[in-house]
Amino acid sequence: MEAMGLSADFWRGKRVLITGHTGFKGSWLTLWLQSLGAQVSGFSLDPSTEPSLYELARVHEGINDQRGDLRDLGALLEIIADTEPEIVLHLAAQPLVREGYRDPLGTYSSNVMGTLNLLEAIRQVGCVRACVLVTTDKVYANKEWLWPYREDEALGGHDPYSSSKACCELLAQSYAASFFPADKYAEHGLALATARAGNVLGGGDFAPERLIPDVLKAWTADEPVTLRYPQAVRPWQHALEPLAGYLQLAAGLYEQGPEYAGAWNFGPGEADMCSVGEVVELLASRWPQARGLRIEKSELHEAGLLRLDSSRARQVLGWQPRWTLQQCLTQTLDWHLAWQNGDDMRNVTLGQLNLYRGAL
């Protein structure tokens, strides 16, 4: 039996807007909601990589696919007015730490002003009942301590990407307090939450300067893998894990309103918070053409230790990770090998989605 908020009984016929639906996580989420019978509209830029999961899995089939920039308030107002979504899942962003260093202005503009425009469009149109803004585990003022961060820890962000996402958290808090306060829910009818997830893995991620895509690209080319921070510890999880949390959270907001508002962590269990080097070793055990490692130190700051406390999501939503890190890596490699083999990647992707849903 599927957990709360993950059944077709809830999602069938729901009008849902996903921003960033052409991205890696957005593509998985769009396919999932399609499979649950939701009426999905997507608003995004074109896919940022070639190839992309969006194109390979033909994610556009059966949805209202709209292209545009979050920095265009008029376009957001138009699509929300036209589609009248009941639920909004905001995933669109510039998602890369190192790209934030190269283009801080573009990163802040996309992430902060894009989120502000979305919130303002939702406020002006007035049809949305539940909104989940996806940020990142990097919104915390990371002190490199050993215990996991909880939702009420201080926000921060050393680099432009992390800082921009912390700004989005502050925007959400401000709009919730100013325009969607809990004590006036009967008047405005909107419940707003933010979701903070760890480092995600999965088939179809072709983004540059991400660990798994870089590893598979190097080994496919019969080259060693270059690592910048092999000792860095991250909260690894398959993309479907936090996506399940977003769906459960959205359903909770829709049905229970302000009780589910605020910030939520979605991270793996303690056993799956391991180092970059350990992840590569696990991958190498499954990849016969693995060609070793190179260490290339970077002068750009990246956090060395980051852990999340997901107690709120576990206790209130009933959410919990279903796949171990080894299972995540197995599914990621199987997807990649199927792609290399020329398989129908929509069928492969839906097959992995159904396998995950069977574990719920």
Phi/psi at 18 (nearest 5 deg)?
A: -115, 120
Picking from 200, 182, 175, the residue whose alpha carbon sits closest to that of residue 88 is: 175
Query: With the C-alpha atoms ordered 201, 204, 207, 209, is the resulting torsion angle positive or negative?
Result: positive
What's the per-residue H, E or C state across 92-157?
Answer: CCCCCHHHHHHCHHHHHHHHHHHHHHHHHHHHHHCCCCEEEEECCHHHECCCCCCCCECCCCCECC
**Cα gap 272→296, rounded to integer Å:** 25
**Cα gap 339→65, rounded to integer Å:** 24
Q: Which residues pair with 90 in a beta bridge?
A: 19, 133
What is the dihedral angle through the alpha carbons of 20, 26, 30, 32, rounded to the nearest 10 degrees? -160
DSSP states along 195-222: EEE--EE-TT---TT-HHHHHHHHHHTT
State the catalytic residue, choosing from 54, 161, 175, 260: 161
CB-CB contact of 197 with 269 (8 Å): no
**Cα gap 255→130, rounded to integer Å:** 9
| Other Cβ atoms within 10 Å of 340 Cβ, number | 10
**Cα gap 355→360, rounded to integer Å:** 9
The question of whether 161 is a catalytic residue gets the answer yes
**Cα gap 41→85, rounded to integer Å:** 8
Residues catalogued as catalytic: 161
